[in-house]
Amino acid sequence: MGKIWGKRFSVLLLSLLFIMGCQSADDNSEEGANAEEENDHNHEVEVGDAPEKVNINGVSDHYHTGDLIKLTAELEEDSEFDHWHWYIRDSSSDEWEAVPELDDTKFFGDAETDGQQIIAVLFNDNHEPYAQSEVIEVVIDDHGHGHSHAHDEESEQIYNGYFEDEQVEDRTLGDWEGDWQSVYPLHQNGTLDEVYAHKAEESDDMTEEEYKDYYETGYVTDVNRIVINGNEVTFFEGEEEQTGEYQYDGYEILNYEAGNRGVRFIFKLDEESEGLPTYIQFSDHSIFPTDSGHFHLYWGDDRQALLEEVEHWPTYYPSEMSEEDIVHEMIAH
């Protein structure tokens, strides 16, 4: 009886070991497949791997340092494939690198490197290049603000609020001309939750919920749209709209508790009108003339009181940008 039980136990043990081995092999196979797929997404792309059948829309003749680059890829023919990747490199001598988070026809990035190259590639279901665009080259012209690698670092410092007083220059309303939408509705409907989750992952400062509370205070506003044309600024609040003409009233440099600084570019209402703020103050992380990609706006009748406001900053992006576009831009920024 003991011998029979011993044999049965041995057979059972061998069976269990066999099953465990198969499961391990399956797991390793699955992990290998996942790794292979991930590698497919990050593989190097050589220009010429696929025919140039993709047009790129939205390319500007030139950009200013820090401008938003917004591009759209459009395939010249109908296709069932929708697996896109965007690649960038600082020069033709560098390797192409995939841009994280951008996996559709939209590209968002900041103009920081003169001569940077961008390419869009559409892949088939086997993760093989099906079609690609021509190489897009970014031209940066700061109109007298010389550009170099050192200038790239300087621009980043300026964006983060570290600059010298003499670097600040006057600006006109033309830097903010256009049709702008408030991001507060996107905050309310949960569209920006993805952004807050990303911020929480990248930082130990706040949780996702804490970020959401922070931006609730910052973004809240009833002015859902602003249109700027010349010196005219039109505020849209629900179905109502009011337009006033504003003149430049100088800038103010602010010192923050964190040690960095900011600049408010101020405009004053030309003729007093009921329902319109006497002052509007722009902040967009730039300190000299350049087209703005988004901005924070402060408005009211007390110039000094507005300068002391640092917790409530309604924020506006171009109205032509979709919700998805804005999320992409916020995460990529």
Pull the structure tokens for residue 297. Answer: 């706006």
Torsional class of 58: left (φ above 0), alpha (ψ -120 to 50), beta (otherwise): left
The pLDDT assigned to 101 comes to 78
The pLDDT assigned to 147 comes to 43
The pLDDT assigned to 288 comes to 92
Cα–Cα distance between 264 and 84 in angstroms, integer?
39
The pLDDT assigned to 152 comes to 62
Q: What is the mean pLDDT of each run of 10 residues along the chain (333 residues)?
A: 43 46 48 46 60 91 80 92 93 89 86 91 92 92 51 76 93 95 97 95 92 97 97 95 98 92 97 94 93 94 96 95 88 74
Q: Can you give the C-alpha Rg of the chain in angstroms?
A: 27
**Other CB atoms within 10 A of residue 222 CB:** 12
Pull the structure tokens for residue 243. Answer: 């337009």
How far out from the chain centre does Cα 81 lie? Answer: 25
Domains and CATH numbers, the chain: 52-159 (2.60.40.10), 165-332 (2.40.128.20)
The pLDDT assigned to 179 comes to 95
Cβ-contact 32, 111 below 8 angstroms: no
Pull the structure tokens for residue 236. Answer: 């849209």
The dihedrals phi and psi of 246, each to the nearest 5 degrees, come to -120, 140
The pLDDT assigned to 308 comes to 95
The pLDDT assigned to 11 comes to 43
The pLDDT assigned to 1 comes to 45
